[in-house]
Amino acid sequence: MCSGRVDPAHVLRAFSNGIDGVFIGGCRLDECNYITHGNYYALNMVLLYKKILEHIGMNPERLRIEFMSGSEGNLFVEVVNDFVRKVKELGPIGEGEGEGIGKKEIQSKLQEVEKLVPYIKLVKKEKLSVRLKNKIEQDSLFTSDEIDRLFSEVVSYYIDPKKCQACMTCARRCPVDAIISAKNEIHIIDQDKCIKCGTCFEACPSRFGAVTKIKGGPVPPPLPEGERTVVKKKKEKN
């Protein structure tokens, strides 16, 4: 499998399930068997999520990526053994150098980040696709301040009950069925399912403008089920 197929959710889920270290091995850069050069994407993904791990209180050395060819068995053994030694030095997740926040708290934070994976991939799409060969450029691709802003300015979407006309356009377009909809009922976005892709925002007819984009703030609570009926204005007779 191409290393570019390794999704950030795979990495986060492994850590969330108690794995103390995640190692990703890929073909050497510029020696990809496919035109996609997915190993560059894998490298950038690891660089990004190392910063994210650090942001939530985990030691970033628990995640590692190395590139080698299929003929370099000795190098593979050497690199893996070195990584295993490092993970053993760090100890169980949550107890390593710079951690000490507890396994349960880390699991909770990892699960929250996992929910944001589609959003993070969308926001960082351009940087994840660059092909940097210089080690200094790679190390500075993502900064700690940038990651802090990423999480403090998370975008959410909310359907304004005063503007929603129950046209169901947003519900039909939502890729993850995160919009609770019914005929003649104000639509509600299920924030736990929402991947923050912005499809509903773009799909909502401009004459309604019911979908609001909220940046870095709380989302208003949804209307109770019994109060969602759309009251349409009657046309006045001349």
In a domain, 238, yes or no: no
Based on the domain organization, do 77 and 51 belong to the same domain? yes
In a domain, 233, yes or no: no
Residue 147 to residues 40, 53, 213, Cα–Cα distance (Å)? 20, 10, 21
Q: Which residues span the domain enclosing 182?
A: 155-227
Assess whether pLDDT exceeds 80 at residue 34. Answer: no
Q: How far apart are CA 64 and CA 138, in angstroms?
A: 14
In a domain, 235, yes or no: no
Strand partners, 213: 157
Cβ atoms of residues 107 and 16 within 8 Å:
yes
In a domain, 232, yes or no: no
- Total structural domains within the chain: 2
Based on the domain organization, do 91 and 194 belong to the same domain? no
Based on the domain organization, do 43 and 101 belong to the same domain? yes
Based on the domain organization, do 69 and 167 belong to the same domain? no
Rounded average pLDDT over 12-24? 95
The percent of residues above 90 in pLDDT, for the chain, comes to 80
The model's pTM: 0.84
Cβ atoms of residues 68 and 96 within 8 Å:
no
Among candidate residues 92, 126, 152, the one where a domain is terminated: 152
Q: How far apart are CA 200 and CA 210, in angstroms?
A: 10
Among candidate residues 152, 167, 198, the one where a domain is terminated: 152
Rounded average pLDDT over 134-158? 95
Rounded average pLDDT over 90-100? 87
Across the chain, what does the average pLDDT equal? 92
Based on the domain organization, do 68 and 177 belong to the same domain? no
In a domain, 237, yes or no: no
Residues 6+ apart with CB under 8 A from 67: 25, 26, 27, 28, 29, 39, 43
Among candidate residues 126, 152, 178, the one where a domain is terminated: 152
